[in-house]
Amino acid sequence: MIGKKRLREIEPAAAGLKALYSPKTAIIDFSKVVQAYANVIKSLGGEILLSQEVKQIEYSNTHFILNTKKVTITTKFLINCAGVHADKIANMIDRAVSAKQIIPFQGEYYDLVHEKISLINGLIYPVNGKMCDDFAIVQKKGMVHVLNAPSPGAMAPFSIGKHIASLYNQMV
């Protein structure tokens, strides 16, 4: 997170109070990235269940039981990366986990006309200061919740993923 002064240093033609500075960011085809992850998961013996709306989650001292409209899933660990639904999933288990409500939003990309391209040095992410303050990764016994991460989740999935993996490794 950078302030107004640093933003001006990096992007002299931009204005704002705060911005998310991500010098290695690029625009990608996110659906291709997700498909690549899916292929890796399947090659390692994982299973991906699509269109599985979670209706209820029960927890015992040793496992979680997730009930969807179609199946029941039993697991020792739960990693909640449900995007705009993460607060609802967290609240199914423990209301104290998610006092925050997810704030959905959609970013916009603009193409500059060729003669204006030199005005911008990279991608610019204006932010609502409150939204960044609300981003949280919460770990409790047997579970990790990634809360209010729509933009950081798409922008920094490898960094966030490494952190979640380290939290998982602490639980096993």
Q: Which domains does the chain have, with CATH numbers?
A: 2-171 (3.50.50.60)
**Token pair for 62:** 């040793």
Confidence of residue 18 (pLDDT cuts 50, 70, 90): confident
Q: Measure CA of the first residue to CA of the last residue in the chain; give whole Å.
A: 33
pTM of the model: 0.70
Classify 30 as helix, strand or coil: helix
pLDDT of residue 168: 92
* Helix segments in 1-94, DSSP class H: 4-10, 30-43, 86-93
- The DSSP-derived string for 139-169 is EETTEEEEES-HHHHHHSHHHHHHHHHHHHH
pLDDT at 41 over 90: yes
CB contact set of 50 (below 8 Å; sequence gap of 6+): none
pLDDT of residue 166: 93
Ranges 59-73, 96-110, 135-149, most confident: 59-73
Helix (H), strand (E) at residue 133? helix 129-134
Q: Residues 121-127: what's their mean pLDDT?
A: 74
Residue type at 127 in one-letter notation: V
